[in-house]
Amino acid sequence: MGYRMIQVGTGGFGATWCREFLQSSLRDGRVQVVAAVDLNPAALQNAQRYLGLPPERCYTSLEQAFAQNPADFCTIVVPPAVHEAVVDLALQHDMDILSEKPIADTLEASVRIVQKVTQAGSKMGVTMSNRFGQEKATLRHELRSGRYGRLDYLVLRLTCNCRTYGSWGAFRHEISDPLLIEAGVHHLDLLAELADSDCEVVYAESWSPSWAEYAGPSQGLVTMRFENGCRALYEGAKSNAVGLNGWTDEYVRAECELATLILDHRGLEVFDYDPAGAWATAREGSGRRIPLLRGSRWGHALLIEQFIDWLDGGDPMETNVEDNLRSVALVAAAVRSSRTEAPVNVAQLLERTLREVRPLGSPSCFPMKVAVKRALTSRFRLCLGCLSGRMTKRSARSVGHNG
């Protein structure tokens, strides 16, 4: 019958979960949706239409839905500021959790969530879907191949015309740092993944032009320096006149020792280094095309599959909540840099937060779950058992999913 799940959030992006992301796992019989929750009664029609739920299994009360429907896990597709409250209730009902990014709206809340999940012995994954898109996985695979020599720097561009209120989902127009929290969380994470290194220092400037209907900065420029010497530049804009590179159609340029690789609107091309071509110029679109990797599932569908494999007893998914804390720390560092107008050391910020946010049930430590040895690795793992803030490097690197 598959794992019993409760869908928390069925409006906005939650509607896409109902209509698209869950469908392959439902067809495979790996999950069965037993209830759905949304504060907006009209949004629950998505659960009835796409998930086949009867009206009596659709709730506007989270407490009622969890109390009346035993489940193995829940999804969280609601604004980040309420993630922690949903996690708390899910853990009370002995559920595992699959949540939309980010873990929470602040680094402190994210650390608390990791502590609570670890203490409960539960599993929690985060759907960092952007870098698991087919085109991004292909670029990562090419950079890992060694064919192009050493990577020097990366450029990523996201530009959109979402300046009017509600065009990017109403809550994003009301939060303090919409660009970095809601878009940068994916793109800074992607740049770190492509660089194959921890980000050491980040410097950010973010703002909103007078015509942008946002409470917080909707535009930003971010520079990153990685521990392996690679650099990156991120241009994020939600209030431009036109969207040149919107969501999933981002522009990414990788400048390598022996080639320039350009990903644009999901197409990848390579311009090879010509030792005799000093001062020669090339036009984007005229490079050697690279076919995309083949696979049956990408993005959310792939991550949902990885999460269910984890529930089945497999290795933790690559974006498990503990390892994903690095992405939240990177965004928090960028936000702090923008506010202080100064570079921020990412590791130092995370270490300081781990010391300041006290774990549950003890003044100094809490039991650490013994995890299955991971085949899917990230660039660092947090030592949460002692909360000393010390991080241990992992030398193994992921080479990308090729289906």
Question: Which tokens is 314 given?
Answer: 């497999």
| pLDDT tens track, the chain, 403 positions | 799 999 999 999 999 999 999 999 999 999 999 999 999 999 999 999 999 999 999 999 999 999 999 999 999 999 999 999 999 999 999 999 999 999 999 999 999 999 999 999 999 999 999 999 999 999 999 999 999 999 999 999 999 999 999 999 999 999 999 999 999 999 999 999 999 999 999 999 999 999 999 999 999 999 999 999 999 999 999 999 999 999 999 999 999 999 999 999 999 999 999 999 888 889 999 999 999 999 999 999 999 999 999 999 999 999 999 999 999 999 999 999 999 999 999 999 999 999 999 766 543 333 333 222 222 223 333 333 333 232 322 223 232 333 3
3-128+299-393 CATH: 3.40.50.720
Going from N- to C-terminal start, the domains of the chain cover 3-128+299-393, 131-290
**DSSP secondary structure letters along 260-311:** EEEEETTEEEEEE--TT-TT----TT-SEEEPPPP-S--HHHHHHHHHHHHH
Contacts of 60 (CB under 8 A, 6+ apart): 37, 38, 39, 40, 41, 44
Handedness of CA 137, 140, 142, 144 (dihedral sign): negative
**Long-range CB contact pairs, 145-150, < 8 A, 24+:** 147/258, 147/259, 148/254, 148/256, 148/257, 148/258, 148/259, 148/261, 148/270, 149/256, 149/257, 149/258, 149/259, 150/256, 150/257
Q: For the beta carbon of residue 28, count every other beta carbon within 10 angstroms.
A: 11
Q: Which CATH number fits domain 131-290: 3.30.360.10, 1.20.120.420, 3.40.50.1110, 2.40.50.140?
A: 3.30.360.10
Q: Are 144 and 248 in contact (CB under 8 A)?
A: no
Q: Are 217 and 180 in contact (CB under 8 A)?
A: yes
How many Å apart are CA 36 and CA 48, to the nearest integer?
9
CA-nearest of 33, 15, 102 to 69 is: 33
**DSSP secondary structure letters along 310-371:** HHTT-PPPTTBHHHHHHHHHHHHHHHHHHHHTS-EEHHHHHHHHHHHSPPTTSSS------P
Question: Which tokens is 402 given?
Answer: 């090729």
Q: How do the residues of the chain divide into helix, strand and coil, expressed in percent and rounded to 5?
A: 35, 25, 40
Question: Which tokens is 125 given?
Answer: 């994954």
- Assess whether the previous peptide bond of 102 is cis (omega < 30° from 0): yes
Specify which residues 259 forms β-bridges with. 272
> Is residue 59 helix, strand or coil?
strand
How many Å apart are CA 14 and CA 40, to the nearest integer?
12
